[in-house]
Structure 1
């Protein structure tokens, strides 16, 4: 029985779906090194996210600010804002509303989880200056000296590798979900 247009279209759709699925999951699979021990992943996943609210300040607030800029919720502010001010609280509320999570203007567990999903994977050659600056700010917060210039160059990559090694993450120089959480939470 010869193939029909419908069967050819179905096979084509299945093949295209499989190809797209493999392309969309490949970067995440490469992030945080494939040989990170499961117990290290579990330990990092269990680290509590910092709770941030209006009036807070510091490097983690600055990193969150940079990410909200990257996601289009805050205007570019030049040098990073280290203060959780009213415009940032408004941006957090808009971000929460768009993701159907409780709207309270604070960054807690559920909001961090969404921020991390939207972060994706950042590594050498990444052109999203806000995401790269967030990584650099978090590296500085964790004791690594890198410029907050938004360029994922050799110094940033080497600092990520050193941070990953210190936290028993398979060091690949790419910031994926495990490395991101460790950077935000201070690591293990």
Structure 2
């Protein structure tokens, strides 16, 4: 299930993208998708999204995509506040408490995190924190491509697919 060994410091997600730059990734079924494990030294869009989600939850950190000491400290504080194992590692239990459902008309850091993840799949959104018609269209296309419930709402299953590893 966890394909990046403990101590792997260079987590950098790969998401298949259709050739030609059109919006959307390849056809990936959601069953078997697991949450990424992020820890000190991890880098990339998943870390940036986690940082945006932490900030949305009141744990302000720079969204630089690098899991450093400040991000680890924020994760530990967040984990303690949710009665989770405070190990500074973002795994399935932490992700499930960190994500929040976002949908059309919402705005903020959680929306930025969703836009960041949609862009990993080639949707080319402006990461502005506003869930408008372009973000909704991208969410719907992503859900169709990944055999999820198609409603344009980014809830737990869509988050898991957006962030997931196979």
Fold match by TM threshold 0.5: yes
Q: Does 1:123 align with 2:103?
A: yes
Aligned counterpart, 2:139: 160
Aligned counterpart, 1:67: 53
Task: Note the residue ranges of structure 1 that are not aligned, 5 or more in a row.
Answer: 1-42
The Cα of 1:113 is off from its aligned counterpart by 1.9
Show CA shifts across 1:33-59 (max 9, x none): xxxxxxxxxx63642211101111100
Aligned counterpart, 1:97: 80
Q: Does 1:113 align with 2:96?
A: yes
Under a length normalisation based on structure 1, what TM-score does the superposition of the two structures give?
A: 0.69
Secondary structure at 1:94's aligned position in 2?
A: helix
Show CA shifts across 1:83-114 (max 9, x none): 11111000000011111111111111211122
Post-superposition, which runs of at least 4 consecutive aligned residues in structure 1 deviate over 6 A?
none
Aligned counterpart, 2:152: 173
Under a length normalisation based on structure 2, what TM-score does the superposition of the two structures give?
A: 0.77
Aligned counterpart, 2:24: none
RMSD, aligned CA = 1.6
Asked whether the equivalents of residues 57 and 98 of structure 2 are also in contact (C-alpha less than 8 Å), the reply is: no
Q: Does 1:136 align with 2:119?
A: no
Q: Matches of 1:142 and 1:96 in 2, distance apart?
A: 29
Report the count of equivalent residues.
138
Q: Matches of 1:172 and 1:144 in 2, distance apart?
A: 17
Instruction: Give 1 or 2 for the bigger CA radius of gyration.
Output: 1
Show CA shifts across 1:109-134 (max 9, x none): 21112223xx1x2111103x101100
The Cα of 1:170 is off from its aligned counterpart by 2.8
Asked whether the equivalents of residues 42 and 66 of structure 2 are also in contact (C-alpha less than 8 Å), the reply is: yes
Task: Note the residue ranges of structure 2 that are not aligned, 5 or more in a row.
Answer: 1-28
Residue from 81, 90, 96 that aligns with 2:64: 81
